Each structure stands twice: as structure tokens, then as C-alpha cells.
Amino acid sequence: MKIAVITFSEQGLKVMEQIAADMEVDQYLHHAIKGSESITPFERVYALTAEIFQHYSGLVYIAPCGVVVRAIAPLIQHKLKDPAVVCLDVGARHAMSVLSGHEGGANDLAIKVGNLTGAEPVISTTTEAVKDLIVGIGCRKGKPADEIKAAISAALNQIGEEIAHVRYLATADVKGKEPGLLQAAAELEIPLRIIDSKLIRISTLPFGHSDFVEQNVNLPAVSEPAALLCGRRTSLLLQKTAFNGITIAIARENCTSLA
């Protein structure tokens, strides 16, 4: 995807730089804010949006959602033609899939941006929102995709659940670039969420601690906290279970249990 990132605040600039450090993007910044020479200045976000809307497959705004909606509203044509649009708040708390979520790739883009910034992806596509399982994964270095997929399948079988109900795979950032894990997520067509190690270390959620993991990656655990921290109102269905150098934990989001 050809991606543009747009912001008009100093706080937004910091988030944009964080994204640009790990993703190839074109950067746009309001002219009143000083940025590097690689960043394109603009005066009015509405005019900029009209100019670039059809030239990118994805637009990431670090700005108030209302401003983004008003900027794109006159330009929207069809879900198969419009670019993916994602909106982040300047605190990088949430990455919202706003336009062309499924067909245009905004859901995937929100997850990618969330993984880079620590923002929680906000995805309202019905077919995705009804999925409620999160598979937390830890693995030894170099584990191949086929073994990871087999471990996921075996773990789901243990609790009588199906892969079709899995919303996310999740792991800690120390394992976020494992080729086998990335390949497994791509082949299963399930998004991989990367959980910041700092969140795992300070979490008070009920997960088991492992001396082995602590010694090797300086974390109390990987699979259980990744599964629990990846969703809302989560609870473990399957505690950490080992499969030949791969650990799997499965959590369920209790999305309707508000009472």
C-alpha cells in the first residue's frame, strides 16, 4: 500500500515520526509546525485531502476524528474505490478504522499502525467484531510457520473452538518479527497484534509467570499476557500450553458481559 500520514500538531508529529521509522510513508505536516525536510507542509487539511485522496491506497490521520470525517466526506465514492482511512488520536491511544475497513484494507492498516505506536485498533466491521477469541503465542527463535499453525490448531481443538472464531493472534514485541509467526498469521489471514513489553511488565492481570521466559526475554510470560492484553474484558480459556517449543494461550473477549 502507498500510505500517507497527515497531522497538524507537535504531538501528532511525534506519532508520525514513530510510524515513519518502521513503515514507508509519505508525511504531511501543517506548515505552522516545524518538521524535517522529508516532510511535506500543507496549509488546509480539507484542501490537502482533496488533492491526495485518490493518489494513496491508505491515509492515516493523526487528528480529531470529526475533522477527518469532514475532510473525506465530500470525496467518498464507493468502498471498492476509496482509500483506506485510519484516524489516530495524538496520544496514540486508539487507531480507528474509518473508511474502507475490509475491502480497502483500513482494518489491517489500523492494526499495523497500532503495532507500531501501541495504539489499540478500533475495528467495527461486523464480521470481525463478532469474533471473540485471541490466541497468544510465544515461541523459540526460528520456529517455522507450519509448526506454529499446527500448535494453534491443536490448542483450539483442546477447548473445542474453531479457527473461524479467532479475532487476533498476539505476541510480545520481543517476538514480533519472528518470520515463522508473521508467515503463519499471513497464511491464516488472521491479524497479528504486537503487545508492548512494558505493558506486560506492569500488568496486574492474572497470568502465570515463567522463570525460563524471564531469563531469556526479560518478561514474566508471553502467551498468556499477550492474549489477555490484546482484547477487552478478556478471560483465559486455555492457560499456557506447550507444543514443542511453542506456547499457546487462548483468551475470550466477553464483549457483551457488561453487567
Contact criterion met (CB below 8 Å) for 134 and 231: yes
pLDDT for the residue numbered 166 = 96
Distances (CA, A) of 16 to 24, 106, 123, 147, 166: 11, 17, 21, 36, 30
Looking at the structure, do residues 123 and 137 belong to the same domain, yes or no? no
Lowest mean pLDDT among 67-71, 123-127, 130-134, 180-184: 123-127
How far apart CA 45 and CA 22 sit, in angstroms, is 25
Looking at the structure, do residues 121 and 141 belong to the same domain, yes or no? no
How far apart CA 171 and CA 185 sit, in angstroms, is 11
Looking at the structure, do residues 61 and 119 belong to the same domain, yes or no? yes
Looking at the structure, do residues 185 and 214 belong to the same domain, yes or no? yes
Q: DSSP letter for 84, please.
A: E
Task: Spell out the residues 6+ positions from residue 27 whose beta carbon is closer than 8 angstroms to its own.
Answer: 4, 5, 16, 20, 35, 38, 39, 40
Is pLDDT above 60 for 233? Answer: yes
Looking at the structure, do residues 134 and 165 belong to the same domain, yes or no? yes
Looking at the structure, do residues 178 and 105 belong to the same domain, yes or no? no
The number of helix segments (H) and strand segments (E) in the chain equals 10, 12
Looking at the structure, do residues 161 and 218 belong to the same domain, yes or no? yes
Q: DSSP letter for 58, please.
A: E
CATH number of the CATH domain containing 201 = 3.30.420.180
Confidence of residue 255 (pLDDT cuts 50, 70, 90): low
Number of domains within the chain? 2
pLDDT for the residue numbered 164 = 95
**Quick one: CA dihedral 24, 183, 162, 156, positive or negative?**
negative
pLDDT for the residue numbered 221 = 87
Residue 258 resides in a domain: no
| Torsion on CA atoms 129, 130, 132, 136, rounded to nearest 10 | -50
The one-letter amino acid code at 168 reads: Y
Contact criterion met (CB below 8 Å) for 182 and 193: no
- Tell me which residue range forms the domain holding 218: 130-253
Lowest mean pLDDT among 71-80, 111-120, 139-148, 208-217: 208-217
Confidence of residue 258 (pLDDT cuts 50, 70, 90): very low
